[in-house]
Amino acid sequence: MAAEQLKDTTKVVDGVTVHFHRNEVVIVGAGGAGMRAAIEAAEQAGTGAVIDVVTKLYPTRSHTGAAQGGMAAALANVEDDNWEWHTYDTVKGGDYLVDQDSAEILAKEAIEAVLDLENMGLPFNRTPEGKIDQRRFGGHTREHGKAPVRRACYAADRTGHMILQTLYQNCVKHNIRFFNEYYALDVSFVEVDGVKRPAAVIAYELKTGDLHVFQGKSFVFATGGFGKVFKTTSNAHTLTGDGVGIIWRNGLPLEDMEFFQFHPTGLAGLGILLTEGARGEGAILRNDSGERFMERYAPTIKDLAPRDIVARSMVQEVLEGRGAGPHKDYVYLDCTHLGAEVLETKLPDITEFARTYLGVDPVTEPVPVYPTAHYAMGGIPTNNDAEVLLNDDEDIVPGLYAAGECACVSVHGSNRLGTNSLLDINVFGKRAGRSAVKYAKTADFVDLPADPDAFVRQLVANLRSTDAEQHTESVAEIRKELQETMDTNVQVFRTEETLNEATRVVHELRERYRNVHVHDKGYRYNTELLEAIELGFLLDLAEVVTYTALNRKESRGGHMRDDYPKRDDENWMHHTMAYLTGDRTSADPADHITLGQKPVRMTHYVPQERKY
């Protein structure tokens, strides 16, 4: 895997300059999972190897940097802990839809993952003895649920930011080759001996408007989530599900898309995240009368219950008239008793956010908060080695891997515990990089289609389709209506009626999207064109989320059906697999989406009622 194997060529196709690159390992996405995969791939490949990373953003702008509170690992630096308790919490927190062998891997390898980052130079907070400090986080307990435990390793409330910076510095050390501000448009799949394999990733370079074809042996998708299907979200504007959408359009399945997490403490009306670490340090949720209402919903661990339980409890308080503010539409996060020193040293970012965006000082007054769309538990299905699955039977797509929020291992089940996301990207990002190199060392390159220019021509035609003068629809207006209907109908509480309404609106918006118009006719830094492409992925994924939610007639984790309020293990203890199989012009998703199911893998933990 030496640099001299690279063969970069250029040609002009239909007036667009197209660059062809060839490398053995190509990673799409440069957040935490992508960069951790790149580092592992570089180390496994050896001296002289070149790893390509195609990234929509400059790496240190990736959304991993927004993660605040910490990264779970049973180090037992502050109090007694072990990986089995962490496994149990992950399984129970995910409402038993977690694949338990995957949870065991996550919890066992968490300790090494934290130490890897420490050895790379990450500045964790320290105990007086100099060990990595740890704090409490929602859903993490000792002795299988008896009491909260200090398990989250953290760097103030900037843990994700520190991880991102540390990983990037180590990527530079390993001479990772970044293609910054290259937007992945599609993957070319080729059938080889009856087996579907990826041949190349095609990307649009923002700076020049050129197209780039990255041919490889192994491809790792680490493209993040798709929270921008919702209006109120903690997700950055760039989290539009591009990688997940590309996989979907190419006929591969998506898993458990109905499960989307709503983080309890978003700034009211804005969705900007206030870390769960605040509650880990002792902050309290209160209703309009000042009552610590989580004592009623989770008497044992109160404000540190899993996120789905806390989010529902907050919404319930508002629905029953105990909300705060002039419109009674939020609750309070009370940090006033923590003191200025704790807030300024351990929680500086959330303190600044509250002051900047709401004009509220957490040192002296409670902060208005309400649940915000935060994390997709579902995504591209993979096994424990990060290999992408082809079907319900868990056959794999050779040479294709996924890690991070875009992937579904499934280690989060129907509800992810806080701090397990930063852990996930490091554990399974590392596994993806290792698997990709192992495969590339023995595999051959897949030839591009017989007429690769035809594939590129189709992409160019798709890009130019927005130029038509008769097209009058606005990207911004369609996106606004999509996000509003998802907030109204597919948020914390759902019913058949609201999901049918969302389905109807999404179909209408898809029809209007066919006539979307982009005014900028150029290709260099055409952000308007980019937003139009992103909107297409958002519409696709909104439909899948809504249809799979309509199909699952029970309540579990992040999926709460008011018309089916109980968890139903007899009929629904399985993963949902969704496939695009027909013409998407139909108003009925059943005409073009086929649903399958995959069993939940269990080892030690039998599903029980979730009591906290």
Query: Residue 503 and residue 501: Cα distance in Å, rounded?
Result: 5
**Does 197 participate in catalysis according to the annotation?**
no
Q: What is the DSSP string of 540-587?
A: HHHHHHHHHHHH--S-BTTBEETTB-S--HHHH-EEEEEEE-S-TTSS
Query: Residue 472 and residue 514: Cα distance in Å, rounded?
Result: 10
Catalytic residue among 307, 479, 567, 610: 307
What residue ranges in 77-169 does DSSP mark as E strands? 134-142, 147-153
Backbone angles phi, psi at 577, to 5 degrees: -115, 125
Query: Residue 24 and residue 523: Cα distance in Å, rounded?
Result: 29
Contact assessment for residue 336 and residue 224, using Cβ atoms and an 8 Å cutoff: no
Token code pair at residue 476? 């911004």
Query: Residue 49 and residue 139: Cα distance in Å, rounded?
Result: 42
Token code pair at residue 488? 């109204």
Cα–chain-centroid distance for residue 317? 28
Place of tokens 């192992």: 438
β-strands 195-205, 254-255 pairing: unpaired
Q: How many CB atoms lie within 10 A of CB 310?
A: 27
Contact assessment for residue 11 and residue 20, using Cβ atoms and an 8 Å cutoff: yes
Residue 322 class from Cβ within 10 Å (0-12 exposed, 13-18 middle, 19+ buried)?
A: middle
State whether the Cα torsion 561-565-569-571 is positive or negative: negative
Which sequence positions are flagged as catalytic? 307
